[in-house]
Amino acid sequence: MRVLAGFRRGGLLTPDHCGIGLLRAGSKDGWCDAPGHGAYNRHVRLPFRASHETLIRDDVLYDFGFVLDWNIVSRRRGAGSAIFLHVAKPGFPPTQGCVALKRRDLLTLMPHIRRGTSVRVL
- Looking only at the bridges linking them, the beta strands covering 99-101 and 84-87 are parallel
Among candidates 79, 84, 73, which has minimal Cα distance to 113? Answer: 84
Q: What distance lies between CA 17 and its chain's CA centroid?
A: 19
Among 18, 32, 52, 86, the one annotated catalytic: 86
Pairing of strands 29-32, 52-54: antiparallel
Annotated catalytic, 52? no
Residue 98 annotated among the catalytic residues of the structure:
yes
Catalytic, out of 18, 52, 98, 112: 98
Q: Which residues form the catalytic set? A: 86, 98
